[in-house]
Amino acid sequence: PPVWMAATSESAIDWAAGRGFSILMDPHAAHRDIGRKRHYYFEKLTAAGHAVEGRELPIARLVALGDTAAEAEETARAGSQWIVDSYFGAQHRPVGVADPAAPGADRVQRYLDEVILHGTPEAVLDQILQLREEIGLDYLLCAPLSHKTFGLLTEKILPRLP
């Protein structure tokens, strides 16, 4: 059966690529960083003598959909706040959870601007197709941020994906 190693840091990508494992790309990195990490992984995989051809690399993306952009943004903002509080709150600093945002940056806004796919179904379909072109997204592992998102995703987006 297919096996993927969750890898987000360069050292984790090095480890997986060096052993020929495919990787699962994380839901917390910015879209541009996912593209960079994907390219880095393929370089390391090739350097280690492993084939790139035929690999599927799931890219996990948080998704928030609504009937309007404002409704989707509200869902995305609530999901972002929960993530920031859960992963990067003061209670987690002692265990070494690294914050990917620049010092002083608004962490919630970072998720809204750079990480979460959010909007109407039409807008998010366009975002997915754009990520296919820009970063090579060919296997989307969706993490819906609401029940409504799940419904709209399955009814309005999935049937329209090539």
Q: What was the pLDDT predicted at 97?
A: 44
State the Rg of the chain over Cα: 16
pLDDT at 90: 62
Name the β-bridge partners of 24.
Answer: 6
C-alpha–C-alpha distance, residues 6 and 146, integer Å: 24
pLDDT value of position 134: 96
Q: What is the pLDDT of residue 106?
A: 86
pLDDT at 1: 83
| Below-70 pLDDT ranges, the chain | 89-104
pLDDT at 100: 57
Angle at 90 between CA 87 and CA 96, to 5 degrees: 60
**Running DSSP on this structure, what letter comes out for residue 20?**
T
Two tokens at 146? 């609401």
Backbone dihedral angles phi then psi of residue 19, each to the nearest 5 degrees: -105, 0
Instruction: Identify whether the C-beta of residue 50 lies closer than 8 Å to the C-beta of residue 62.
Output: no
At position 97, the amino acid (one-letter code) is: V
| Residue 94: per-residue pLDDT | 42
AA identity, residue 115: V
Q: What's residue 104's pLDDT? A: 63
pLDDT of residue 95: 44
What residues does 144 pair with on adjacent strands? Answer: 63
